[in-house]
Amino acid sequence: MNTRQLLKGCVAAAFTLVAASAPVMAQVEATQQDYQVVQSLQRVFESVAEKVKPAVVNISTVSEIKFKHPPIPPQFRDFFHQFGIPFPFPNFPDSFQTRALGSGFIVKVKDGWAYILTNNHVVAHAKKIRVKLSDGTVYRAKVVGTDPKTDVALIKIHVGNKKVPVLQLGDSDKIKVGEFVIAVGNPYGLNWTVTHGIISAKGRHGLGLNPIEDFIQTDAAINPGNSGGPLCDIHGRVIGINTAIVRNAQGLGFAVPINIAKKVMEDLLKYGKVIRGWLGVYIEDISGELAQKFGVKEGVLVTKVMPGSPAEKGGLKSGDIIVEFNGKPVKNVADLQLKVINTKPGTKVKITVIRDGERKTLTVKIGQMPGSQQLASADLLSKYGFSVQKLTPELREKLGLPKWIKTGLVVTEVKPGSPADDAGLQEGDVIVKAGTTPRNMRPVKSVDDLLAVLRKGGDSGALLKVIRGEGVIYVVLNPQE
């Protein structure tokens, strides 16, 4: 008898033994109460779907990528002419368009405008944004503002007197792992798809998706096209914005907590920029050995304090272990970062540290994160498609500008196909005056001066006085349609 025959005999004997010893299973029948429980849960999902779907929108974007002719040195161009080949190449394409789909949801209606939350990556670099409502109507959307750090964007459509549904925003700080959730979106263009699952985890960070991460993890089915759609609780309240998935994996979806998105939205509407708190320290998580030595369970180690920062002014020192922020425990680096950036600049907070084995509480006045203004400028200027830099004496000399031009903004980048490109702005142009009409034009001394004019101009745009080389031109800059 060979090995295979022996194995077959053993398996057969085992099955015979199990069959002989196993009790006879009675037929299972569900009771009426069992059906009522399942039907109750089913009605909850049906109710949420009916409540949420009308406020979810389909977002389609068109982006244009422009080509430049290949940079070939002049000495090599004769080669093409010898063979009768014209240069630049006449058939070389100037541009091509890309299209993308995403989701969003209506959160506010004011003065005839419906405001929609979505992901930044859904609308970033889009030349045209169209929004389709659940009733089939389509609108051209405008970008109110974006925040690449959290991947949140706010857009708006003009609906006039039309009544459109608005979703209620929940509190993502109160959600718990294991709770049922419902996701609604447009995966692969399959409009208003509803899926459900549970909250698998909270506070996911270190994924490398966004500079600021505090994701809700869910196993509700999320696919390409779901980005920007709502993740809701069983009451239909939005607790997150579906943002990312892990490729080639199942049940691994991530959403931006709605409390983070709410702050971004409120800042964009109120200030036109995202304002974040700043402490000014380099920090790292405490290892198990360090925690044992210092006698702490949680906290972060301060490795360096920036000179002149709020932390230095408040008395923080390198080697301190931050264990509490305004009375709340500090778990890790990501936890402290979120606590700080969500604190309004100018707020005085109590920070508890362990220093030389002793517990010490310091009062620190939170500052504004450096670069917030530059980020805000990028958010507002992005819909015009250009970047600027304040004119300095070095730049004035480099550009060969007359000495009488002492203030202005130098255009450092113009995106192909953007409103700035359409208006004729070029890199190296110097914006010296701006206004909404020729009569109210004023000198531009800072980025704030330009931003104020652009905000005031709104949909009607702005008039710019520009120095280009030795000449002066006027440019009418209109926002993205």
Q: What is the pLDDT of residue 375?
A: 44
Three-state SS for 322-356 is: EEEECCEECCCHHHHHHHHHCCCCCCEEEEEEEEC
Q: Specify the pLDDT at position 3.
A: 46
What DSSP letter does each residue of 121-154 carry, written as one string? HHHTT-SEEEEE-TTS-EEE-EEEEEETTTTEEE
Q: Which residues of the chain have pLDDT under 70?
A: 1-26, 64-97, 371-383, 459, 480-481
Please tell me whether 318 is known to bind a ligand: no
Pick the catalytic residue: 151, 233, 267, 429? 151
Rg (alpha carbons) of the chain, rounded to whole number: 29
Q: How far apart are CA 256 and CA 239, in angstroms?
A: 9
Active-site residue, from 172, 227, 372, 387: 227
- The pLDDT of residue 310: 92
Annotation says 158 is catalytic: no
Q: What is the dihedral of CA 237, 240, 241, 245, to 10 degrees?
A: -130
- Identify the pLDDT of residue 376: 45
Let me know if 295 is exposed, middle or buried by CB neighbors in 10 A (0-12, 13-18, 19+): exposed
Give the predicted TM-score (pTM) of the model.
0.65
pLDDT at 279: 92
Domains and CATH numbers, the chain: 46-274 (2.40.10.120), 277-368 (2.30.42.10), 384-477 (2.30.42.10)
Given the residues 60, 121, 372, 382, the one annotated as active site: 121
Binding residue per annotation — 226? Answer: yes
Residue 47 is a catalytic residue: no
Gap between the Cα atoms of 354 and 360, Å rounded: 6
Show the CA angle centred on residue 92, arms to residues 87 and 95, nearest 5°: 135
Active site residue 200: no
Q: Is 151 annotated as a binding residue?
A: yes
Whole-Å CA distances, 202 to 171, 172, 197, 213, 338: 13, 10, 14, 11, 14
Is 158 labeled as ligand-binding?
no
- Residue 271 C-beta-side C-alpha neighbours within 13 Å: 18
Query: Could you read off the pLDDT of 26-71 as tens digits, one per residue?
Result: 678 888 888 888 888 889 999 999 999 999 999 999 876 665 555 5
